[in-house]
Amino acid sequence: MNKQKSRECQPCTACCDGWLQIVVEGKPVYPGKPCHHSTGSGCNDYANRPVDPCQQFICGWRMDDSPLPDWMKPSNAKVVVLFNQTQWRGMPVDVAVPVGRRIPPRALNWLQQFAQTRQRGLLYSEQIVENGQFSNRQAAHVYGPPEFQQEMAQRMQSGLPLW
């Protein structure tokens, strides 16, 4: 969505396709309900795209000094990574959202290794399919220290947001 000098979005359209659940010009965008400006391969009004969220948002793959390797581009790895979405007891916590139903094993393994070696928490989601179609609901999974997992499980049971 936003332009960075080193990595380009195209041909990725994960943001515009609704995997992150955003609101564009007052209209909800979610899995199965792409942005009304999305052509499937880009934006039909890119010059006039809204500041929030389109111009402001940048995923973890496109951010400056991204630790994600080239192959983790969301259109290729089928995951959008958002670094430092929250903290738990001083530990940075990253969030990963699938481009599709689930994060593929290769990408999930990479993210779990990264969380482990860098001492970070990882929250990742799985899209819930209802009647053969993507819904706007997700199941959440937690990776990290046991106490972190327990606390996040309690928050989920209590219906509290994880980040």
User: Contact residues for ligand SF4 (CB under 6 A)?
Assistant: 1, 9, 12-16, 24, 35, 37-38, 43, 49, 54, 58-59, 61-62, 74, 80
Encoded tokens for 113: 């290794």
Cβ-Cβ contacts under 8 Å for 72 (sequence gap 6 or more): 61, 79, 81, 107, 110
Q: What whole-number distance in Å separates Cα of residue 85 and Cα of residue 45?
A: 29
The residue (of 39 and 135) whose beta carbon lies closer to ligand SF4 is: 39
Taking the complex as a whole, the smallest distance from the CB of residue 17 to ligand SF4 amounts, in Å, to 8
Smallest distance from ligand SF4 to CB 52, Å: 10
Distance of closest approach, residue 91 Cβ to ligand SF4, in angstroms: 25
Rank residues 75 and 112 by Cβ distance to ligand SF4 and give the closer one.
75
Cβ distance to ligand SF4 smaller for residue 29 or 123? 29
Judged by CB, which is closer to ligand SF4: 74, or 144? 74
DSSP per-residue codes, 15-77: TTTTTT-EEETTEEEBTTB--TTB-SSSBTTGGG--IIIIIT---TTTSTT--S-GGG-HHHH
Question: How many Cβ atoms sit within 10 Å of the Cβ of residue 40?
Answer: 8
CB of 144 to ligand SF4, least distance (A): 23
Residues in the chain, overall count? 163
